Structure formats: C-alpha cells, structure tokens
Amino acid sequence: MKKEIRTIPDDYFEKPYLVIDLLPFQVPADSEGQYFAVEQYYLKTERFDDICRHRTDILLKLNCYYDLAVYEEERWICLFPEELAQRIMEHREDLMILVPSADCLMQVSCDSTYITVYSPSERLASLLETLANAHGMFVFDPAQKNPGSAQ
C-alpha cells in the first residue's frame, strides 16, 4: 500500500548538502589521478550494479529509522521496501527521496556513483555515515577543505 505525503520541498537545492560516494572526499580539480577514467570504469561495468546495491542497502536501512517518500507522478509517496529497492536498482532516471521528519531531500543520480543529501540533520548525517561506511562508501561535505586538496 502506498501512503501519499503532501509535504512539498521548495528550496532544498540551495541548502547545505553532503555527498555519499565511493571516495572519502571530493577529488580536487588539480588532482594528478585519473578520476574521470576511474569514474567511467565504475559507471560502465557490472561494478555500477554493485554501487546500486550498496545505495539500495543504505537507503533501505535508513528506512528502518525514518519514513522515506519518493517523488513519482508529481507527488510524494511512501513505498514498500521492495518497491523502493526496485526504483533504486532500475537506475533509469534520477530519484528524489524525501525524509519528511528530518526535513531532508536526497537525490540518487542514475548516471553517477553518489547520492546527494540536502539539509541533513546532525543525527541523520551521523546515521548515513555509519550506514555508508558499512557498505564501503563515504560521506563528505564538499564545502569543507579535504586532505586531497592542493595546499
């Protein structure tokens, strides 16, 4: 059974955000590494299915602690875990997921390795970090200077 949620986010994309990704922090523009080649490797092989499974596991486990609503057909609806997993694993289009009780929006991009988490509370960010780390992924704030940046 799907339960409709009438909460509609408005300015989430302007709020501070975190990123859940394969890498522990943002790769600096002046990096000597092969970021784009590595990213393409992950996006064009069976490894992307692994990434989708990790993202699915993180979000399903998060759903144990928070209600999640997915934007479909111009409305927000709560899905059963099987339906939520199917939407994430299909990865045909970006998926917008609202955490109503935490006033947080997540965007799962279909053509990337990361999840963007807009306006997470400290509690939600901590839980996401724990879940991401358990699946070999990391949470970072792209606004913070990271150890990989040029000095």
- Spell out the domain ranges in the chain: 3-27+35-140
Summarize pLDDT for 76-96 with one digit per residue, the tens. 889 999 999 998 888 678 899
CA-wise closest residue to 121 among 34, 49, 18:
18
40 exposure class (CB count in 10 Å sphere: 0-12, 13-18, 19+): exposed
pTM of the model: 0.87
What mean pLDDT is predicted for residues 10-27?
90
**In this model, does residue 74 exceed pLDDT 70?**
yes
Lowest mean pLDDT among 31-35, 91-95, 111-115: 91-95
Do 105 and 68 contact (CB within 8 A), yes or no? no
**In this model, does residue 14 exceed pLDDT 60?**
yes
Q: Which amino acid is at 98?
A: L
**In this model, does residue 26 exceed pLDDT 80?**
yes
Q: Give the mean pLDDT of the chain.
A: 87
